[in-house]
Amino acid sequence: MHDFARRLRLVAALSILLAGSPAAFAATPDVVWTFAGMRDGRFSQDGTLFVALGNASSGGRLEVRGVGNGALVTGVSNDISFTAVAISSNNQLIAGATSRLTSTKRSTTITRIVNVYRVLDGVLVRTIVTDADRDITSIDFSPDSTLIATMDRLSYGSGGRTRIYNVASGALVRLLKAGSSSTAVRFSPNGQYLALNDSNILTNGIIGGVRVVRVSDWTLAMTTGNGSRLVAWSGGGAAIWTKNNWDGSDSHAREVVVPTGAVAHDVVTRDYANVRDVSPDDRRLIADRAAAPQNVIAWIAVSDGSVPLAYQFDHNAFVSEISPDGSLFAFALVETDGRSVMVIARTP
C-alpha cells in the first residue's frame, strides 16, 4: 500500500488550465484500496463488488473483490488475454471476453469466445462461442442477467458487429450489424433499451454515432450523430450521455433523452478531456485525457463545464467508472513498461 501511495503522488509544482480556469489540484485522491496487475474494471450493480481484468505475457486474469476492503472473492486466470469484462446484476456471474487458438501444421485459427464464470468459486459454467472477426472489447449483462451483449472492434473493414446471447444456453439471440472501432455497448437500467456505438451513422459528413434499440424486438429507437460515442446511461436511466470526437482540445458531452433525442445537457469540455462516466445525480463528469500526457483525471461540472478538481500523476491514468451510489471511483495507473495498479478511491 505504501508503494502504491507513492505512485499516487501529484506533481504539485505543475499547474494546468482546464476549462479556461485553473483547476484545484488535490494533494492526492482519497484511496480506499489498491491492487496490482489490473487495468480496467466494473462495479457491480449494487456497488458491493468490483470485477477487474489484467493481462500479462503469461495470459489474462479476472478478479472479483469486495468494494469495502478489497478482499479477493474470486480470481480466474486464462492462458490468453481477456479483452472485456462484466458482472451480472445478481452478482452470481462474471463474463470475460477472450480467444481460443486452434493450431494445425499449416495455420492457426482464432475464435473469439466469452467465458462465463461463477462468482462464488470461479468455476467456468459456460463458454459462448462467437463468430466475431475481431477482438470483443465491450460486453454487458442485461439487468435481469438473462442476456449478454458483445461488440467486436471494427478494424480494417472487419468486425464491428453487436451480438446478443442467451446467458443460460449460450445461443445467439440477435445479430446487429452495428459497431465501431471505439466499442461500447450498454443495456439501460430498466432493460428496455440497448445503446451501442455505431460507425454506420453518417451525419453532416461525420462518421459515427450512438444507436439505441428496443430490447423487446431489436427495432431502432433513436440515433445520435456527429461522431458521438456512448459514455453511460444517465443516473435516472432515461437518457444516455455521449461524447463527440474532439476537435482540437475541445469536445462536447451531451445528455440525450431516450427515445425522443432531446438534448438535456450540452457540456463543453476542454484540454482533450475524454469523458468516461457521469455521477448518479448527473451533476459531474469524470474524464481522463485523450492525448498525451495522459496523466490527469478531472472532475467536470455539468452545469458550466468548469473543472473544480483534477489530479495529476507521475504515470498515465485511465478512469474505469464511478460506483452506482456515487461514493467511489475506479482508475488505473499504468507505467511505461505496461505494469499497472487498479485504484479504488472516494469521490471528492
Mean pLDDT of the chain: 90
Q: In the predicted model, what is the mean pLDDT of residues 187-197?
A: 97
Could you tell me if 187 and 140 are in contact, meaning their C-beta atoms sit under 8 angstroms apart?
yes
Residues 252-282: tens digit of each pLDDT: 999 999 999 999 999 999 888 999 999 999 9
Cβ-contact 240, 195 below 8 angstroms: yes
Per-residue confidence (pLDDT) for residue 247, from 0 to 100: 58
User: Is the model's pLDDT at 13 over the cut of 80?
Assistant: no
Q: 293, 287, 291, 219: which is closest to 253 by C-alpha?
A: 287
211-231 confidence digits (pLDDT tens) = 999 999 999 999 999 889 999
Distance separating alpha carbons of residues 259 and 246, to the nearest angstrom: 25
315: helix, strand or coil:
coil
Band of residue 158 on the pLDDT scale cut at 50, 70, 90: confident
Ramachandran quadrant class, 122 (left: phi over 0; alpha: psi -120 to 50; beta: rest)? left
Would you tell me how many other CB atoms lie within 10 Å of the CB of residue 112? 22
* Tens of pLDDT, residues 171-191: 999 999 888 888 999 999 999
Question: Which of 147-161, 206-220, 332-346 shows the lowest per-residue confidence on average (mean pLDDT)?
Answer: 147-161
Does the bond joining 348 to the residue before it have cis omega, within 30 degrees of 0? no
pLDDT given for residue 146 in this prediction: 98
Q: Residue 155 is inside which H or E element, if any? A: none
**What's residue 11's pLDDT?**
35
Class at the top of the CATH hierarchy for domain 41-187 = mainly beta
To which residue does cell 472485456 refer? Answer: 84
> Which amino acid, 48?
T
| Higher-confidence position of 5 and 85 | 85
In eight-state DSSP terms, residue 326 is S
Q: Please state whether the predicted TM-score (pTM) of the whole model is above 0.75.
A: yes
pLDDT value for 277: 98
Higher pLDDT, 196 or 25: 196
pLDDT score of 17 more than 90: no
